[in-house]
Structure 1
Amino acid sequence: MSSLPANNIAIIGAGPAGLMAAEVLAQGGAAVTVHDAMPSAGRKLLMAGRGGLNLTHSEPLPAFLARYAEAMPNLKAAIDAFPPQALRDWSEALGQPTFVGSSGRVFPKAFKASPLLRAWLRRLDSQGVKLALRHRWTGWSEDGRLQFQTPDGQREVEANATVLALGGASWPRLGSDRTWVETLAARGVTISPLRPANSGFTVAWSDIFRDRFEGQPLKGVALTFGTRTVRGEAIITRTGIEGGAIYALSADLREAILSAGQATLHIALRPDLTIDELTARLSVPKGKQSQSNFLRKAAHLSPVAIGLLQEAAKTSGVSLSSLLLADLARLINAVPIELSGTAPIVRAISTAGGIAFDELDADFMIRRLPGIFAAGEMLDWEAPTGGYLLQASFATGAAAGRGVLKWLSRRS
């Protein structure tokens, strides 16, 4: 180690957290190499940007921070130091100005991730940051060197400090494959179990409903679980249900399923109407219309919404036509859906669980592993979609980079 330049730093993971740590370190004068198992950098960032790269959110910072729930105290300092406006300024400095969408979400004007990532990698290259791709980290040698599996065989790397930014366990084909869990656990690092976050859930749909409505959206609905209600959209999948409104409730739903084995979600199909208003609409003469046609015209329900109503009635052993109008109105705005499990973690948008914050000091260094820092989604936090995931990844990456610089200055 003594033969190395005092600022030789290894980053493991070429996602937002790792690349941001690399940028902070390079600006601080460090010699940085970013290692990644994939053939190219930022693969999950590119995937996240396929439908529009939601970088952050424009809501006031106190409300923004509250989105991190119990992890907020552990993330606050990092986000205060690199808040949403700083992320927007950073993006603009890369030639990618941002705009605020109608929901308050912040996107690059180019909308996609690829222009931002290309500009970022060019700037990192100009700062002297090196990329070592197809380098899969496997742990440490007996004398403390980092070990990597490469196409050319095993490689060992010496570093004065290391930032781990290996992601969680969602979308493993893009690089976040959770292999680091066993490596760190073997060193005594406490790791909360990795669980799917912002994920879909499984429902035992009937064959008829599944075959007809798979992939169909429920638009303008309100989802309620416990005391929380979320407006938005949900999508019927072959095995269950997913979508933005589902993701917003996913943490509570997941924990309920882990505790009780199931969770009952209620969906209001016409949330802007009261029960009395719905009952009045349903009071018009039905005539010779089929039940489906009647509901489509009287309550303005879509085919998938009517199918969901019929599915719920069938599960309860009743027919919609036998219900009193007030009871039908109540069912329309509180359709019970029994969730039997979470969708697989490999398909989740993000991951809950990870390195316990008690294992880290204020600079994101792992206390029992001096010189080893951690950032991003491999830490024990979760957040809803809406820009909160990327913001915390960028912010903790920057914090870990600053932590390394501080640690090096104390040792010089």
Structure 2
Amino acid sequence: MTCDALVIGGGPAGLAAAEALLAAGRNVTLAEAKPSLARKLLMAGKSGLNLTKSEAAETFLAAYGDAAPNLAPMLTAFGPQEVQSWATDLGQPLFTGSTGRVFPTAMKASPLLRAWLARLTAQGLELRTRWRWTDWRHPEFIFDTPDGPRTITPKFTVLALGGASWARLGSDGQWAGMLQNAGIPLAPFRPSNAGLQIPWSAHMARHFGAPLKNVTFRAGPYTSRGEAVISARGLEGGGLYPLTPTLRDGAPLRLDLAPDLTTAQVTDRLNRAGPRQSLSNTLRKALSLTPAAQAVLQECARPLPRDAAALAAVIKDLTVPHDGVRPLDEAISTAGGVPFAALDKSLMLRSHPGVFCAGEMLDWEAPTGGYLLTACMATGFWAGRHAATFATAEA
């Protein structure tokens, strides 16, 4: 069968591409391997859907690291303000937290997704769920469907296939083999926004599930202030995730357990505590270290130095031994995928005119906090708009 515009992948990037194509007057068929759309988005929204982050444009863009120059045009066209306008246009009121993170008032992804799908369906989107892309004989795309194999020959295509984490939700990275067979170079998948594997001793078991709050995390050139949770497998949480790029390469993790005090101030408070108090009480009263923070301190630096200045130095720069980040499928997102060098400025594959790529399947990464979803949507809208323009020029 033939079709006008084909979008493969029903996550935020694919839906954004479909919306842009529909707005340009194209007939759009969207194929999704799973029985329902945007499963990863729905999972992320269970704990509060962080849509984007309200901050200065330069600060926002810097979160994308080396990929920032490539993503800049897309994030300029569809950035934090555009995300917010898009959501409110769908009837979803928003609020901005104290850190600048923007959430739907409902806090869930499901009302927003329902409204989005209703709008797209009303605009004529043809959905094909349980359609798994299995082969590519350009310009033909072959799918395994509930009714058997189906071949589609579209005028142009947007691929929005996700990364390679959370395979159970659809991002399994199996598309990589087909692109490589077509001669498209790929950067290897690597975990991003991943927990850290730490071989805790048995003494840490009673602290599993406890948060490390008000801590500065450091690894290589990266610094992040926030929170992480102690788990049986190590540490995980938003304060830690921005360090993934260097932690996965073996950089040591260092903690500042008293980030609001200088080393001299910590030393002074320890000296003023007096010798009669236990060390635990001294750390709690003088420095407000929680039992969880004290446990990590003891775990990683026992026996602690008796000298106040030496102990202060450890508290301000505690090295935490680790065994690397959690496996790829347990990561929130992935680095790697289609390199920007394989694409032109419209996100079209240089080697395959009429085939565009968007979302997490591109080789970029960013920390959690609204950056991931914003860039997925921005690249989706960008690819969809340029695909429509390409089709018009080809007509």
What TM-score, normalized to structure 1?
A: 0.92
The one-letter code sitting in structure 2 at the alignment partner of 1:372 is: V
In 2, Cα distance between equivalents of 1:124 and 1:298? 58
Q: Report what 2:314 is aligned to.
A: 331
In 2, Cα distance between equivalents of 1:82 and 1:399? 8
Answer yes or no: is the 8 Å Cα contact 2:222–2:242 preserved in 1.
Answer: no
Range that drifts further, 379-388 or 272-281: 272-281
Q: Report what 1:260 is aligned to.
A: none
Residue 290 of structure 1, CA deviation:
4.2
| Paired residues for 1:87-106 under 5 Å | 87-106=83-102
SS of 2:252's partner is: strand
In 2, Cα distance between equivalents of 1:280 and 1:61? 41
Q: Report what 2:170 is aligned to.
A: 175
Q: Report what 2:262 is aligned to.
A: 274
| Paired residues for 1:222-371 under 5 Å | 222-255=216-249, 257=250, 263-283=251-271, 284-287=273-276, 289-314=277-302, 319-320=303-304, 322-371=305-354
**Within the alignment, does 1:26 sit opposite 2:14 as a pair?**
no
**Within the alignment, does 1:83 sit opposite 2:71 as a pair?**
no
In 1, Cα distance between equivalents of 2:285 and 2:85? 50
Residue 160 of structure 1, CA deviation:
1.1
Q: Report what 2:203 is aligned to.
A: 208
In 2, Cα distance between equivalents of 1:286 and 1:131? 71
Aligned partner (choices 369, 380, 388) of residue 397 of structure 1: 380
Map Cα deviations across residues 49-102 of structure 1 (whole Å, 9 max, x no partner): 111111111112122112212111211111111122111111111001322211
In 2, Cα distance between equivalents of 1:226 and 1:165? 32
Q: Report what 1:388 is aligned to.
A: 371
How many residue pairs get aligned? The number is 394
Answer yes or no: is the 8 Å Cα contact 2:139–2:154 preserved in 1.
Answer: no
In 1, Cα distance between equivalents of 2:264 and 2:114? 56
* Contiguous gaps of at least 5 residues in structure 2: none
| Paired residues for 1:8-19 under 5 Å | 8-19=4-15
**Within the alignment, does 1:148 sit opposite 2:143 as a pair?**
yes
Q: 1:370 to 1:14 in 2, by over 3 A?
A: same
Range that drifts further, 105-114 or 178-187: 105-114
* Contiguous gaps of at least 5 residues in structure 1: 258-262
The one-letter code sitting in structure 1 at the alignment partner of 2:270 is: L
In 2, Cα distance between equivalents of 1:285 and 1:358? 62
In 2, Cα distance between equivalents of 1:179 and 1:56? 28
Aligned partner (choices 48, 52, 55) of residue 52 of structure 1: 48
| Paired residues for 1:63-78 under 5 Å | 63-78=59-74
Percent identity of equivalent pairs = 51
Aligned partner (choices 154, 169, 187) of residue 192 of structure 1: 187
Residue 252 of structure 1, CA deviation:
2.3
Q: Report what 1:372 is aligned to.
A: 355
Map Cα deviations across residues 141-198 of structure 1 (whole Å, 9 max, x no partner): 4x73211112332222221111110000111100000000111001110110010111
In 1, Cα distance between equivalents of 2:221 and 2:163? 29
Aligned partner (choices 200, 205, 220) of residue 214 of structure 2: 220
Answer yes or no: is the 8 Å Cα contact 1:145–1:157 preserved in 2.
Answer: yes
In 2, Cα distance between equivalents of 1:80 and 1:290? 56
In 1, Cα distance between equivalents of 2:269 and 2:63? 38
Q: Report what 1:125 is aligned to.
A: 121
The one-letter code sitting in structure 2 at the alignment partner of 1:254 is: R
Answer yes or no: is the 8 Å Cα contact 2:220–2:252 preserved in 1.
Answer: no
SS of 1:160's partner is: strand
The one-letter code sitting in structure 1 at the alignment partner of 2:313 is: R
Aligned CA-pair RMSD: 1.6
Q: Which runs of 4+ in 1 moved over 3 A?
A: none
Answer yes or no: is the 8 Å Cα contact 1:171–1:348 preserved in 2.
Answer: yes
Residue 227 of structure 1, CA deviation:
4.1
The one-letter code sitting in structure 2 at the alignment partner of 1:154 is: P
